[in-house]
Amino acid sequence: MIDNPHCLRESEGRAHGFTLAQQRRPLRENSMVVRQNYDVIFIGGGLAAGLSALLLRENRPELKVLIIEARDIETPELPQTWSFQTLPASIDPSQSKSFSQVRSNWLGRLISKSWTGYEVRFPDLDRRLDIPYHSIRSQDFWDHLKIELSDSLIFGSSVTEVKGTTVTGANGSQWQANRVIDSRGWAKDAFPVAGYQKFVGLNLKLKKPHGLKAPILMDARVEQVDGFRFLYTLPWDELNLLVEDTHYSNDDHLDIPHYRKEILAYAKAQGWEIESIGEMEQGALALPSYSKRNFFSEKLSPHTAQLGVRAGLFHATTGYSIYDAVLGAEQLLNTIHLEADALETSLSRYSDERWEAQEFYRRLNNMLFFAAIPENRYKVLERFYQHDPDLISRFYAGKTSAQDKFRIMSGKPPIAMKQAIYHFFNRSEVQHG
Protein backbone atom coordinates (compact mmCIF):
# COMPACT_ATOMS: atom_id res chain seq x y z
CA MET A 1 0.00 0.00 0.00
CA ILE A 2 2.99 2.10 0.38
CA ASP A 3 3.19 5.40 -0.35
CA ASN A 4 2.68 4.44 -1.58
CA PRO A 5 4.00 3.34 1.69
CA HIS A 6 5.42 1.25 -0.79
CA CYS A 7 8.23 3.12 -1.28
CA LEU A 8 10.17 5.39 0.68
CA ARG A 9 13.66 4.60 -0.35
CA GLU A 10 15.51 7.88 -0.05
CA SER A 11 19.25 7.48 0.09
CA GLU A 12 22.40 9.48 0.41
CA GLY A 13 24.19 11.32 -2.30
CA ARG A 14 26.67 10.88 -5.24
CA ALA A 15 29.59 13.00 -6.32
CA HIS A 16 30.23 16.12 -8.28
CA GLY A 17 30.88 16.76 -11.93
CA PHE A 18 30.56 19.39 -14.62
CA THR A 19 27.41 21.40 -15.28
CA LEU A 20 25.13 20.42 -18.13
CA ALA A 21 22.32 22.75 -17.14
CA GLN A 22 21.89 24.02 -20.67
CA GLN A 23 20.99 20.46 -21.68
CA ARG A 24 18.67 20.10 -18.66
CA ARG A 25 20.85 17.33 -17.29
CA PRO A 26 21.94 16.72 -13.68
CA LEU A 27 25.55 17.05 -12.68
CA ARG A 28 27.63 13.92 -13.10
CA GLU A 29 30.52 12.36 -11.24
CA ASN A 30 34.00 13.77 -11.72
CA SER A 31 37.22 12.88 -9.95
CA MET A 32 38.35 16.50 -9.78
CA VAL A 33 38.15 18.07 -6.32
CA VAL A 34 36.06 21.23 -6.45
CA ARG A 35 34.59 23.59 -3.88
CA GLN A 36 31.37 25.49 -4.43
CA ASN A 37 29.16 27.51 -2.11
CA TYR A 38 25.43 26.97 -1.63
CA ASP A 39 22.66 28.30 0.58
CA VAL A 40 21.18 24.83 1.17
CA ILE A 41 22.54 21.33 0.54
CA PHE A 42 20.30 18.27 0.79
CA ILE A 43 22.11 14.98 1.39
CA GLY A 44 19.80 12.40 -0.16
CA GLY A 45 17.63 13.02 -3.20
CA GLY A 46 14.43 11.18 -2.36
CA LEU A 47 10.91 12.43 -1.90
CA ALA A 48 11.48 14.80 1.05
CA ALA A 49 14.52 16.51 -0.47
CA GLY A 50 12.98 16.74 -3.93
CA LEU A 51 9.74 18.30 -2.72
CA SER A 52 11.60 20.69 -0.41
CA ALA A 53 13.94 21.81 -3.18
CA LEU A 54 11.04 22.34 -5.59
CA LEU A 55 9.16 24.42 -3.02
CA LEU A 56 12.25 26.52 -2.33
CA ARG A 57 12.85 27.04 -6.05
CA GLU A 58 9.27 28.20 -6.52
CA ASN A 59 9.15 30.54 -3.51
CA ARG A 60 12.79 31.48 -2.91
CA PRO A 61 14.41 31.34 -6.36
CA GLU A 62 17.34 33.48 -5.19
CA LEU A 63 18.61 30.63 -2.99
CA LYS A 64 21.33 28.40 -4.40
CA VAL A 65 20.26 24.82 -3.64
CA LEU A 66 22.04 21.50 -4.20
CA ILE A 67 20.83 17.89 -3.88
CA ILE A 68 23.47 15.15 -3.54
CA GLU A 69 22.07 11.65 -4.16
CA ALA A 70 23.80 8.26 -4.04
CA ARG A 71 21.80 6.58 -6.76
CA ASP A 72 22.13 7.23 -10.46
CA ILE A 73 18.66 8.22 -11.58
CA GLU A 74 19.59 7.58 -15.20
CA THR A 75 19.57 3.88 -14.25
CA PRO A 76 17.66 3.71 -10.93
CA GLU A 77 18.05 0.52 -8.91
CA LEU A 78 14.34 0.13 -8.23
CA PRO A 79 11.26 2.12 -9.20
CA GLN A 80 9.08 3.59 -6.46
CA THR A 81 5.51 4.79 -6.13
CA TRP A 82 4.21 7.41 -3.71
CA SER A 83 0.45 7.73 -3.30
CA PHE A 84 -2.03 9.84 -1.37
CA GLN A 85 -5.73 10.57 -1.04
CA THR A 86 -7.51 13.84 -1.60
CA LEU A 87 -8.47 15.35 1.76
CA PRO A 88 -11.42 17.56 2.66
CA ALA A 89 -10.21 21.18 2.88
CA SER A 90 -11.19 21.29 6.55
CA ILE A 91 -8.59 18.67 7.49
CA ASP A 92 -5.91 19.37 4.88
CA PRO A 93 -2.87 20.07 7.11
CA SER A 94 -0.80 21.72 4.37
CA GLN A 95 -0.52 25.50 4.09
CA SER A 96 -0.76 25.27 0.31
CA LYS A 97 -3.85 23.02 0.50
CA SER A 98 -1.89 20.56 -1.58
CA PHE A 99 -4.10 17.62 -0.60
CA SER A 100 -7.51 19.25 -1.07
CA GLN A 101 -6.88 21.47 -4.10
CA VAL A 102 -4.68 18.86 -5.71
CA ARG A 103 -4.62 19.91 -9.34
CA SER A 104 -4.27 23.64 -8.75
CA ASN A 105 -1.02 23.68 -6.78
CA TRP A 106 2.62 22.72 -7.07
CA LEU A 107 2.19 19.10 -5.91
CA GLY A 108 -0.37 18.40 -8.59
CA ARG A 109 2.21 18.89 -11.32
CA LEU A 110 4.04 15.79 -10.09
CA ILE A 111 1.11 13.38 -10.23
CA SER A 112 1.45 10.48 -12.67
CA LYS A 113 -2.11 9.18 -12.40
CA SER A 114 -5.32 10.08 -10.56
CA TRP A 115 -8.51 8.15 -9.95
CA THR A 116 -11.90 9.26 -8.64
CA GLY A 117 -11.92 6.65 -5.87
CA TYR A 118 -10.62 3.28 -4.77
CA GLU A 119 -11.83 -0.11 -3.59
CA VAL A 120 -11.14 -2.34 -0.59
CA ARG A 121 -11.97 -6.03 -0.54
CA PHE A 122 -12.18 -8.24 2.54
CA PRO A 123 -13.92 -11.56 3.22
CA ASP A 124 -16.95 -9.76 4.70
CA LEU A 125 -16.59 -6.32 3.10
CA ASP A 126 -16.45 -5.16 -0.52
CA ARG A 127 -16.54 -1.38 -0.70
CA ARG A 128 -15.79 1.48 -3.06
CA LEU A 129 -14.76 4.77 -1.47
CA ASP A 130 -15.30 7.89 -3.55
CA ILE A 131 -12.12 9.51 -2.26
CA PRO A 132 -9.85 10.61 -5.13
CA TYR A 133 -6.52 8.78 -5.10
CA HIS A 134 -3.26 9.92 -6.70
CA SER A 135 0.10 8.30 -7.44
CA ILE A 136 3.52 9.69 -8.30
CA ARG A 137 5.87 7.31 -10.09
CA SER A 138 9.52 7.77 -9.22
CA GLN A 139 10.69 8.09 -12.82
CA ASP A 140 8.16 10.87 -13.44
CA PHE A 141 9.27 12.53 -10.20
CA TRP A 142 12.96 12.42 -11.12
CA ASP A 143 12.25 13.58 -14.68
CA HIS A 144 10.49 16.60 -13.20
CA LEU A 145 13.44 17.29 -10.89
CA LYS A 146 15.84 17.12 -13.83
CA ILE A 147 13.82 19.75 -15.66
CA GLU A 148 13.20 22.11 -12.74
CA LEU A 149 16.46 21.60 -10.81
CA SER A 150 18.93 20.43 -13.44
CA ASP A 151 21.67 22.76 -12.21
CA SER A 152 21.07 21.70 -8.59
CA LEU A 153 21.40 17.91 -8.82
CA ILE A 154 24.40 15.65 -8.28
CA PHE A 155 23.85 11.92 -8.67
CA GLY A 156 26.14 8.96 -8.27
CA SER A 157 28.38 9.35 -5.19
CA SER A 158 27.89 9.09 -1.46
CA VAL A 159 28.71 11.76 1.09
CA THR A 160 31.47 10.63 3.44
CA GLU A 161 31.61 13.52 5.91
CA VAL A 162 29.84 16.63 7.10
CA LYS A 163 32.02 18.92 9.16
CA GLY A 164 30.51 22.24 10.10
CA THR A 165 29.26 23.71 6.85
CA THR A 166 31.53 21.56 4.65
CA VAL A 167 30.19 18.48 2.87
CA THR A 168 32.73 16.01 1.48
CA GLY A 169 31.96 13.46 -1.23
CA ALA A 170 33.46 10.03 -1.80
CA ASN A 171 35.81 11.31 -4.50
CA GLY A 172 37.10 14.16 -2.35
CA SER A 173 34.87 16.88 -3.77
CA GLN A 174 33.74 19.45 -1.23
CA TRP A 175 30.83 21.84 -1.04
CA GLN A 176 30.15 24.68 1.36
CA ALA A 177 26.62 25.38 2.54
CA ASN A 178 25.01 27.80 4.94
CA ARG A 179 22.55 25.02 5.84
CA VAL A 180 22.93 21.23 5.45
CA ILE A 181 19.84 18.99 5.48
CA ASP A 182 20.16 15.23 5.98
CA SER A 183 17.32 13.56 4.06
CA ARG A 184 18.89 10.18 3.33
CA GLY A 185 15.86 8.08 4.18
CA TRP A 186 15.15 5.47 6.82
CA ALA A 187 17.51 5.51 9.78
CA LYS A 188 18.47 2.10 11.14
CA ASP A 189 17.55 1.47 14.78
CA ALA A 190 15.91 4.89 15.15
CA PHE A 191 12.95 3.40 17.04
CA PRO A 192 11.69 0.12 18.56
CA VAL A 193 9.94 -1.88 15.85
CA ALA A 194 6.45 -3.30 16.25
CA GLY A 195 6.55 -5.02 12.87
CA TYR A 196 7.11 -4.49 9.18
CA GLN A 197 5.11 -3.56 6.14
CA LYS A 198 6.88 -5.50 3.41
CA PHE A 199 5.98 -5.92 -0.23
CA VAL A 200 7.01 -6.89 -3.71
CA GLY A 201 5.29 -5.31 -6.70
CA LEU A 202 5.32 -6.10 -10.40
CA ASN A 203 4.34 -3.82 -13.26
CA LEU A 204 2.33 -6.02 -15.60
CA LYS A 205 1.30 -5.48 -19.20
CA LEU A 206 -1.78 -7.49 -20.14
CA LYS A 207 -2.94 -8.92 -23.45
CA LYS A 208 -6.49 -7.67 -22.90
CA PRO A 209 -8.00 -4.79 -20.87
CA HIS A 210 -8.30 -5.59 -17.17
CA GLY A 211 -11.57 -3.72 -16.69
CA LEU A 212 -10.58 -1.96 -13.46
CA LYS A 213 -11.89 1.58 -13.05
CA ALA A 214 -10.12 2.35 -9.78
CA PRO A 215 -7.23 1.13 -7.63
CA ILE A 216 -7.76 -1.78 -5.28
CA LEU A 217 -6.10 -0.44 -2.16
CA MET A 218 -6.47 -3.71 -0.28
CA ASP A 219 -7.67 -7.08 -1.49
CA ALA A 220 -7.46 -9.30 1.59
CA ARG A 221 -9.51 -12.10 0.05
CA VAL A 222 -6.31 -14.09 -0.24
CA GLU A 223 -4.60 -16.63 1.98
CA GLN A 224 -3.56 -14.91 5.22
CA VAL A 225 0.04 -15.98 5.78
CA ASP A 226 2.96 -14.17 7.41
CA GLY A 227 0.67 -11.66 9.12
CA PHE A 228 -1.99 -9.45 7.52
CA ARG A 229 -1.70 -9.96 3.77
CA PHE A 230 -3.33 -8.09 0.92
CA LEU A 231 -2.84 -7.36 -2.78
CA TYR A 232 -2.61 -3.72 -3.88
CA THR A 233 -3.37 -2.85 -7.52
CA LEU A 234 -2.92 0.41 -9.42
CA PRO A 235 -4.33 0.41 -12.98
CA TRP A 236 -2.11 2.80 -14.95
CA ASP A 237 -4.19 2.38 -18.11
CA GLU A 238 -6.36 -0.29 -19.73
CA LEU A 239 -3.50 -2.75 -20.16
CA ASN A 240 -0.85 -1.78 -17.62
CA LEU A 241 -1.06 -2.11 -13.86
CA LEU A 242 1.06 -2.40 -10.75
CA VAL A 243 0.26 -5.35 -8.48
CA GLU A 244 1.89 -5.55 -5.05
CA ASP A 245 1.76 -8.40 -2.55
CA THR A 246 1.95 -6.77 0.89
CA HIS A 247 2.29 -8.20 4.39
CA TYR A 248 2.11 -6.63 7.85
CA SER A 249 4.63 -9.09 9.22
CA ASN A 250 6.71 -9.73 12.34
CA ASP A 251 9.92 -9.83 10.28
CA ASP A 252 11.46 -8.07 7.30
CA HIS A 253 12.43 -11.15 5.27
CA LEU A 254 11.44 -10.95 1.60
CA ASP A 255 11.33 -14.16 -0.43
CA ILE A 256 11.18 -12.37 -3.77
CA PRO A 257 10.72 -15.46 -6.01
CA HIS A 258 7.80 -16.56 -3.81
CA TYR A 259 6.23 -13.10 -3.91
CA ARG A 260 6.53 -12.97 -7.71
CA LYS A 261 4.88 -16.38 -7.94
CA GLU A 262 2.01 -15.24 -5.70
CA ILE A 263 1.47 -12.05 -7.72
CA LEU A 264 1.31 -13.99 -10.98
CA ALA A 265 -1.11 -16.48 -9.40
CA TYR A 266 -3.30 -13.58 -8.23
CA ALA A 267 -3.28 -12.07 -11.73
CA LYS A 268 -4.33 -15.41 -13.19
CA ALA A 269 -7.13 -15.70 -10.63
CA GLN A 270 -8.44 -12.30 -11.79
CA GLY A 271 -8.54 -13.59 -15.37
CA TRP A 272 -5.70 -11.35 -16.52
CA GLU A 273 -3.51 -12.68 -19.33
CA ILE A 274 0.00 -11.30 -18.98
CA GLU A 275 1.89 -10.20 -22.07
CA SER A 276 5.04 -9.03 -20.27
CA ILE A 277 6.44 -8.30 -16.81
CA GLY A 278 8.05 -4.91 -16.30
CA GLU A 279 9.88 -3.29 -13.41
CA MET A 280 9.71 -4.61 -9.87
CA GLU A 281 9.23 -2.66 -6.63
CA GLN A 282 10.16 -4.01 -3.23
CA GLY A 283 10.56 -2.82 0.33
CA ALA A 284 10.33 -3.67 4.01
CA LEU A 285 9.28 -0.68 6.09
CA ALA A 286 9.80 -0.81 9.84
CA LEU A 287 6.73 0.39 11.76
CA PRO A 288 7.29 1.80 15.28
CA SER A 289 5.86 0.46 18.51
CA TYR A 290 4.46 2.46 21.40
CA SER A 291 7.41 2.22 23.76
CA LYS A 292 9.42 4.05 26.41
CA ARG A 293 12.02 5.04 23.86
CA ASN A 294 11.52 8.07 21.64
CA PHE A 295 12.66 8.42 18.06
CA PHE A 296 16.39 9.03 17.72
CA SER A 297 18.40 9.22 14.52
CA GLU A 298 22.17 9.68 14.63
CA LYS A 299 23.16 12.99 13.08
CA LEU A 300 25.87 13.40 10.46
CA SER A 301 27.13 16.29 12.56
CA PRO A 302 25.75 18.15 15.60
CA HIS A 303 24.29 21.00 13.56
CA THR A 304 22.98 19.03 10.58
CA ALA A 305 19.20 19.28 10.35
CA GLN A 306 17.14 16.24 9.36
CA LEU A 307 14.08 16.00 7.15
CA GLY A 308 11.75 13.34 5.78
CA VAL A 309 11.64 9.79 7.09
CA ARG A 310 15.19 10.34 8.36
CA ALA A 311 13.58 12.61 10.95
CA GLY A 312 10.72 10.21 11.70
CA LEU A 313 8.29 12.06 9.45
CA PHE A 314 5.99 9.30 8.22
CA HIS A 315 2.68 7.75 9.22
CA ALA A 316 3.41 5.17 11.91
CA THR A 317 0.74 2.69 10.80
CA THR A 318 0.32 3.10 7.04
CA GLY A 319 3.96 3.94 6.34
CA TYR A 320 2.83 6.73 3.98
CA SER A 321 5.37 9.55 3.86
CA ILE A 322 4.14 11.97 1.22
CA TYR A 323 1.86 13.90 3.59
CA ASP A 324 4.74 14.54 5.98
CA ALA A 325 7.14 15.22 3.11
CA VAL A 326 4.94 18.12 1.97
CA LEU A 327 4.46 19.42 5.52
CA GLY A 328 8.20 19.16 6.14
CA ALA A 329 8.93 21.07 2.95
CA GLU A 330 6.57 23.83 4.06
CA GLN A 331 8.18 23.91 7.51
CA LEU A 332 11.61 24.27 5.92
CA LEU A 333 10.37 27.07 3.67
CA ASN A 334 9.02 28.92 6.72
CA THR A 335 12.30 28.61 8.63
CA ILE A 336 14.92 28.74 5.88
CA HIS A 337 15.86 32.29 6.96
CA LEU A 338 17.36 30.88 10.17
CA GLU A 339 21.06 30.21 10.58
CA ALA A 340 22.24 26.58 10.64
CA ASP A 341 22.09 26.05 14.42
CA ALA A 342 18.69 27.68 14.79
CA LEU A 343 17.34 25.82 11.77
CA GLU A 344 18.49 22.48 13.19
CA THR A 345 16.82 23.31 16.51
CA SER A 346 13.60 24.37 14.82
CA LEU A 347 13.35 21.31 12.56
CA SER A 348 14.22 18.97 15.44
CA ARG A 349 11.46 20.49 17.56
CA TYR A 350 9.04 20.16 14.65
CA SER A 351 9.97 16.49 14.13
CA ASP A 352 9.58 15.76 17.85
CA GLU A 353 6.13 17.32 17.86
CA ARG A 354 5.08 15.31 14.81
CA TRP A 355 6.39 12.12 16.40
CA GLU A 356 4.44 12.77 19.61
CA ALA A 357 1.31 13.44 17.56
CA GLN A 358 1.62 9.91 16.14
CA GLU A 359 1.27 8.20 19.54
CA PHE A 360 -2.21 6.84 18.81
CA TYR A 361 -0.98 5.10 15.66
CA ARG A 362 1.95 3.54 17.50
CA ARG A 363 -0.50 2.22 20.10
CA LEU A 364 -2.53 0.70 17.26
CA ASN A 365 0.65 -0.95 15.97
CA ASN A 366 1.10 -2.58 19.37
CA MET A 367 -2.41 -3.98 19.15
CA LEU A 368 -1.99 -5.14 15.57
CA PHE A 369 1.40 -6.82 15.93
CA PHE A 370 1.42 -7.93 19.58
CA ALA A 371 -2.23 -8.64 20.40
CA ALA A 372 -3.80 -9.88 17.16
CA ILE A 373 -3.29 -13.44 15.95
CA PRO A 374 -1.28 -12.98 12.71
CA GLU A 375 -3.79 -14.69 10.41
CA ASN A 376 -6.64 -12.65 11.96
CA ARG A 377 -5.00 -9.23 11.64
CA TYR A 378 -7.02 -8.52 8.52
CA LYS A 379 -10.15 -8.28 10.70
CA VAL A 380 -8.79 -5.09 12.30
CA LEU A 381 -8.58 -3.41 8.88
CA GLU A 382 -11.86 -4.90 7.69
CA ARG A 383 -13.57 -3.27 10.67
CA PHE A 384 -11.73 0.02 10.12
CA TYR A 385 -12.93 0.35 6.51
CA GLN A 386 -16.55 0.17 7.63
CA HIS A 387 -16.22 3.71 9.00
CA ASP A 388 -17.25 6.84 7.10
CA PRO A 389 -14.94 8.29 4.42
CA ASP A 390 -14.01 11.41 6.43
CA LEU A 391 -12.74 9.33 9.36
CA ILE A 392 -10.70 7.22 6.94
CA SER A 393 -9.27 10.35 5.29
CA ARG A 394 -8.32 11.86 8.64
CA PHE A 395 -6.60 8.61 9.59
CA TYR A 396 -4.44 8.57 6.47
CA ALA A 397 -3.59 12.24 6.95
CA GLY A 398 -2.52 11.61 10.55
CA LYS A 399 -5.32 13.92 11.72
CA THR A 400 -7.44 11.43 13.65
CA SER A 401 -9.68 13.36 16.05
CA ALA A 402 -10.57 12.42 19.63
CA GLN A 403 -14.03 11.40 18.42
CA ASP A 404 -12.46 9.31 15.65
CA LYS A 405 -10.27 7.51 18.20
CA PHE A 406 -13.31 6.72 20.31
CA ARG A 407 -15.17 5.33 17.30
CA ILE A 408 -12.17 3.27 16.16
CA MET A 409 -11.72 1.79 19.64
CA SER A 410 -15.40 1.37 20.58
CA GLY A 411 -17.30 -1.87 20.32
CA LYS A 412 -15.96 -5.38 20.53
CA PRO A 413 -12.54 -5.50 18.88
CA PRO A 414 -11.78 -8.29 16.38
CA ILE A 415 -9.00 -9.46 18.72
CA ALA A 416 -8.99 -10.67 22.33
CA MET A 417 -10.18 -7.79 24.52
CA LYS A 418 -7.71 -8.37 27.35
CA GLN A 419 -4.73 -8.49 24.99
CA ALA A 420 -5.97 -5.49 23.00
CA ILE A 421 -6.29 -3.31 26.10
CA TYR A 422 -2.96 -4.45 27.54
CA HIS A 423 -0.93 -3.73 24.41
CA PHE A 424 -2.73 -0.47 23.64
CA PHE A 425 -1.77 0.98 27.02
CA ASN A 426 1.53 -0.80 27.63
CA ARG A 427 4.74 0.87 26.47
CA SER A 428 6.11 -2.32 24.98
CA GLU A 429 9.82 -2.99 24.81
CA VAL A 430 9.17 -6.03 22.67
CA GLN A 431 10.62 -5.68 19.21
CA HIS A 432 9.98 -7.79 16.15
CA GLY A 433 12.58 -8.32 13.49
Q: pLDDT digits over 100-129, tens only?
A: 999 889 999 999 999 999 999 999 999 999
If DSSP states are collapsed to H, E and C, what string results for the chain? CECECCCCCCCCCCCCCCCEHHHCECECCCCCCCEEEEEEEEECCCHHHHHHHHHHHHHCCCCCEEEEECCCCCCCCCCCEEEEECCCCCCCCCCCCCCCCHHHCHHHHHCCEEECCEEEEECCEEEEECCCEEEEEHHHHHHHHHHHCHHHEEECCCEEEEECCEEEECCCCEEEEEEEEECCCCCCCCCCEEEEEEEEEEEEEECCCCCCCCCEEEECCCCCCCCEEEEEEEECCCCEEEEEEEEEECCCCCCHHHHHHHHHHHHHHCCCCEEEEEEEEEEEEEEECCCCCCCCCCCCCCCCEECHHHHCCCCCCCCCCHHHHHHHHHHHHHHCCCCHHHHHHHHHHHHHHHHHHCHHHHHHHHHHHHHCCHHHCHHHHHHHCCCCHHHHHHHHCCCCCHHHHHHHHCCCCCCCHHHHHHHHHCCCCCCCC
Least reliable range by pLDDT among 2-11, 47-56, 154-163, 274-283:
2-11
pTM, whole model, 2 decimals?
Answer: 0.89
Give the range among 1-10, 71-80, 311-320, 424-433 with minimum mean pLDDT. 1-10
Where do the domains of the chain lie?
Answer: 111-136+192-288, 360-425
Q: How confident is the model at residue 243 (pLDDT cuts 50, 70, 90)?
A: very high
pLDDT at 187 over 80: no
Mean pLDDT for the stretch of residues 19-25: 37
Judge whether residue 233 has pLDDT over 90. yes
Q: Give the per-residue pLDDT at 428.
A: 63
Predicted confidence band of residue 302 (pLDDT cuts 50, 70, 90): confident
Q: What is the pLDDT of residues 378-404, one digit of tens each?
A: 999 999 999 999 999 999 999 999 999
pLDDT tens digits along 321-342: 999 999 999 999 999 999 999 9
For residue 13, pLDDT beyond 70? no
Confidence band, pLDDT 50/70/90 cuts, at residue 413: low
Residue 429: its pLDDT value, please?
54
Q: What pLDDT score does 431 carry? A: 58
For residue 57, name the pLDDT band (cuts at 50, 70, 90): very high
- Tell whether the model's pLDDT for residue 433 goes beyond 70: no
Q: If you average pLDDT over residues 39-67, what whole number do you get?
A: 96
pLDDT at position 32, please?
A: 47
For 249-270, what is the mean pLDDT?
97
- Residue-level pLDDT at 26: 53
CATH number of 111-136+192-288: 3.30.9
Query: Residue 1 pLDDT more than 60?
Result: no
